[in-house]
């Protein structure tokens, strides 16, 4: 037993971008070359307060025309060793040299422009392009978290191409961990769950984030081939204040372990926070303490 130690342009929703994943030189077609990217100052992965809504809207449509969104990569580490275990991809919208808008800041505007689905498929495709390139230079056992949304799974053209290509590239499929918001996961339709089954058959795994408590339906998660769940560090700490609460969390974590579901604690931002979390015998952690989302490491 573990114990405590202390006006928008119309775009088709069936945009077919996946085949570009098979191309080898996917960066040179863009106006900003790889060499120019290398000359760019260290990017700021926060909302640029000086970027007006109009500028962001323009850059969003420019990203659609290029079929390209810049991708950042953040490590997920083992604890307490802090060795890189996985990486997570994040989309960033470049507004000017060295300044980017995060997805949480541009998605509201993208929703108003009715282009969220298009952006999501482009971002996912861009991640796959990068992953194909990464396969030739990194340990093939490395796995990558990539966000996927229910409306993306409703794009039959995109999903059909995705499954077909991953079935031919098993090494990449086995390195993919598709991540979904917990609320979206709970609302999946039977047909959408079948898509998850198809992706799992070709080797993909799944993760659930924005979890506010260790789910009670662990068996259902396991049946849907969920391998990871993510909980915010502050939320976990707040739920284990008393000895009884702590023991209940440990018991729930043991149930996760029994179903081969790993708990990842995200948004770990300080050493003091980490010390508290280690009481829970956490295996994986993610947060600025271990590394911010990086741009140059993705494209070099």
Rounded Cα distance between 36 and 287, Å, is 29
| Per-residue pLDDT at 51 | 61
- 266 pLDDT band, cuts 50/70/90, is very high
Question: Is residue 286's pLDDT more than 60?
Answer: yes
For residue 233, what pLDDT is reported? 94
8-state DSSP, 155: -
Mean pLDDT of the region 294-300: 69
Distance CA 128, CA 122 (A): 10
Average pLDDT over residues 105-122: 87
Give CA–CA dist 282/36, Å, rounded. 41
- The CA-based angle 93-12-115, given to 5 degrees, is 30
pLDDT at 38 exceeding the cut of 50: no
Q: For residue 270, what pLDDT band results from cuts at 50, 70 and 90? A: very high
Superfamily, domain 76-92+117-299: EAL domain (3.20.20.450)
Q: Where does 134-257 show beta strands of DSSP type E?
A: 143-147, 176-181, 205-211, 226-232
Please write the tens of the pLDDT for every residue from 228-239: 999 999 999 998
d(CA 155, CA 11): 13
Mean pLDDT score of the chain, rounded to an integer? 80
Rounded average pLDDT over 162-170: 91
CA angle at residue 265 from 227 to 77, to 5 degrees? 80
Give the span between the Cα atoms of 69 and 200, in whole angstroms. 26
pLDDT band, residue 203 (cuts 50/70/90): very high
- Position 232 scores a pLDDT of 95
Task: Examine the pLDDT at 144 and tell me if it is beyond 90.
Answer: yes
Dump pLDDT digits (tens) for 5-23. 443 343 433 333 333 343 3
**pLDDT tens-digit readout, 73-89:** 999 999 999 999 999 99
Q: Per the structure block, which two tokens stand in for 135?
A: 């396969």
CB 63 within 8 A of CB 116: no
* Residue 229 in tokens: 């769940």
Other CB atoms within a 10 A radius of the CB of residue 104 amount to 9
- Stretch 115-119: mean pLDDT, rounded? 86
Spell out the domain ranges in the chain: 76-92+117-299
């Amino acid at each position: 037993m573990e114990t405590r130690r202390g006006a928008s342009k119309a775009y088709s929703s069936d945009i077919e971008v996946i085949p570009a994943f098979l191309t080898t030189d996917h960066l040179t077609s863009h106006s900003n070359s790889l060499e120019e990217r290398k000359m760019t100052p260290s990017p700021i992965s926060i909302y640029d307060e000086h970027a007006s809504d109009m500028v962001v809207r323009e850059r969003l449509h420019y990203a659609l025309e290029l079929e390209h969104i810049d991708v950042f990569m953040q490590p997920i580490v083992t604890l307490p060793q802090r060795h890189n275990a996985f990486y997570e991809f994040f989309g960033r919208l470049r507004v000017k040299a060295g300044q980017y808008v995060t997805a949480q800041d541009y998605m509201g505007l993208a929703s108003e422009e009715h282009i969220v689905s298009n952006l999501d498929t482009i971002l996912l495709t861009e991640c796959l392009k990068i992953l194909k390139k990464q396969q030739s230079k990194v340990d093939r056992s490395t796995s990558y978290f990539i966000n996927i949304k229910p409306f993306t799974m409703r794009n039959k053209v995109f999903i059909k191409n995705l499954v077909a290509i991953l079935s031919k590239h098993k090494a990449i499929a086995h390195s993919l961990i598709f991540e979904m918001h917990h609320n979206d996961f709970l609302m999946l339709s039977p047909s959408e769950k079948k898509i998850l089954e198809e992706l799992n058959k070709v080797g993909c795994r799944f993760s659930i984030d924005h979890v506010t408590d260790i789910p009670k339906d662990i068996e259902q998660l396991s049946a849907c081939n969920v391998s990871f769940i993510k909980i915010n560090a502050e939320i976990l700490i707040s739920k284990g204040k008393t000895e009884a609460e702590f023991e209940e969390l440990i018991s729930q974590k043991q149930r996760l372990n029994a179903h081969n579901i790993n708990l990842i604690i995200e948004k770990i931002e300080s050493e003091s926070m980490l010390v508290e979390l280690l009481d829970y015998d956490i295996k994986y952690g993610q947060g600025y303490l271990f590394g911010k989302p990086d741009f140059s490491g993705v494209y070099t």
